[in-house]
Structure 1
Amino acid sequence: MTQEPRPAPRRAPTEEEAKALASAIRLRILRLCFKEQLTNKEIATRLGANPATVLYHVRKLVATGFVEAQEARSGPSGAYEVPYLATEKSWRLEQDGHDLDVRQAVIGAFVDEMGQVPASEEVLISRLAVQLTKEGHDRFLERVMGILEEIKAEETDEEADSTRYSIFLAVHPEKGSGPVRG
């Protein structure tokens, strides 16, 4: 019986990688360039942003390996265009939430993206408060990450009959909570 290949272990981001991910606009660029090659102009149009500003952010993502330039092509007016594609490197990085800039960027990107989802679309939103031991918390996180890895492994490149979904998950202790003292 053949075993499924195990995903590469996650690693902590370098300082430069963490800085690159500490921007909501860069996180949105990564999402836009996931599975779709987009030029700087196309990215700027979708974000409703200045192309020069977007180019600055794209260059940061290229320099840190989160986005790769693809083969240059001729645009509609015959101008030379370079499309970009996300490498999915960010998925392999351990994000522990300790970097407040990255935390704010992730939440900011989520809020921006949710604001663009039409009210007619089905969106699952859930909040839950639970009290767990350290061991229970660790088991929960292991199971959730296992499910996310499983879903990522099932991902298809087929565009027909498939829909792109965005998943946002945050698990955090409530302010002022800690072990119950008896």
Structure 2
Amino acid sequence: MALDPDAPRRRPPTDAEARALASSLRLRILRMCLDEPRTNAQLAERLGMAPATVLHHVRTLTDTGFLEALPAERGRRGSRPRPYRATGKSWWLDGGANANTLVQAFIDGVSRVPPGEDVPMARLGLRLSPEEQAELAERLQALADEYARRPPTPGGRPVSLFMAVHPDTDRD
């Protein structure tokens, strides 16, 4: 199957992009703006934070191209709230966010899943050569990239995927 020449390609992040993704809060903001645009006030309310604090993070994400500012809307009493939408750019960066930030964003997200909700998880210990480990990581990445390229399913349920192939520090 030939790849679409206009499809995004993986690349290393710039220093500014890596700094922007170094916050689990910013990763959460990107998730919140993935399916529907949200204003700074909506993000602040959802995060339980001061709008000024959230605006700092929104501006960082906008300045680095992770969020796109949409035209301002008409608000109450003449206000002009501006919605922001995630661009999906973060997925196509190799090593954009560090492992601790990604793990913290994962923990933050999973901790808010309602009790009784099914969250399939697995942890598998393997013993692989460096080549086999690289093959596993490449195959998992290719599968995730395939799904990332798919358009959102109308009426579909929002889900997240977290994956890590890492050295097992509990075994020799």
**TM-score normalised by structure 2 residue count:** 0.91
The Cα of 1:91 is off from its aligned counterpart by 0.8
Q: 5 Å matches for 1:130-141?
A: 130-141=126-137
The Cα of 1:76 is off from its aligned counterpart by 4.1
The reply on whether 1:80 has 2:74 as its aligned counterpart is: no
Q: What is the alpha-carbon distance in structure 2 between the residues aligned to residue 157 and residue 71 of structure 1? A: 25
Q: What is the alpha-carbon distance in structure 1 between the residues aligned to residue 29 and residue 76 of structure 2? A: 22
CA deviation map 1:20-48 (0-9, x unaligned): 00001100000000021000000011111
Matching residue's letter, 2:109: E
Cα distance change, pair 113–77 in 1 and its aligned pair in 2 (3 A): farther
SS of 2:68 mapped into structure 1: strand
The corresponding residue for 2:166 is: 172
Preserved CA contact (<8 Å) 1:39 1:84: yes
CA RMSD of aligned residues (A): 1.9
Q: What is the alpha-carbon distance in structure 1 between the residues aligned to residue 59 and residue 90 of structure 2? A: 16
The reply on whether 1:10 has 2:10 as its aligned counterpart is: yes
Q: What is the alpha-carbon distance in structure 2 between the residues aligned to residue 122 and residue 109 of structure 1? A: 19
SS of 1:68 mapped into structure 2: strand
SS of 2:113 mapped into structure 1: coil
The Cα of 1:3 is off from its aligned counterpart by 3.5
Match of 1:124 among 120, 129, 141: 120
Q: 5 Å matches for 1:76-115?
A: 76-95=76-95, 102-115=98-111
The corresponding residue for 1:37 is: 37
The Cα of 1:176 is off from its aligned counterpart by 7.8
**TM-score normalised by structure 1 residue count:** 0.86
CA deviation map 1:68-101 (0-9, x unaligned): 10011012444210000011110110018xx7xx
Q: What is the alpha-carbon distance in structure 2 between the residues aligned to residue 122 and residue 78 of structure 1? A: 44
The Cα of 1:157 is off from its aligned counterpart by 5.1
Preserved CA contact (<8 Å) 1:73 1:82: yes
Matching residue's letter, 1:134: P
SS of 1:84 mapped into structure 2: strand
SS of 2:104 mapped into structure 1: helix
CA deviation map 1:49-76 (0-9, x unaligned): 1111100000100111110100110124
Cα distance change, pair 76–117 in 1 and its aligned pair in 2 (3 A): farther
Structure 1 unaligned segments of length 5 or more: list them.
none
Matching residue's letter, 2:124: L
The Cα of 1:4 is off from its aligned counterpart by 4.4
Preserved CA contact (<8 Å) 1:22 1:103: no
Structure 2 unaligned segments of length 5 or more: list them.
none
SS of 1:12 mapped into structure 2: coil
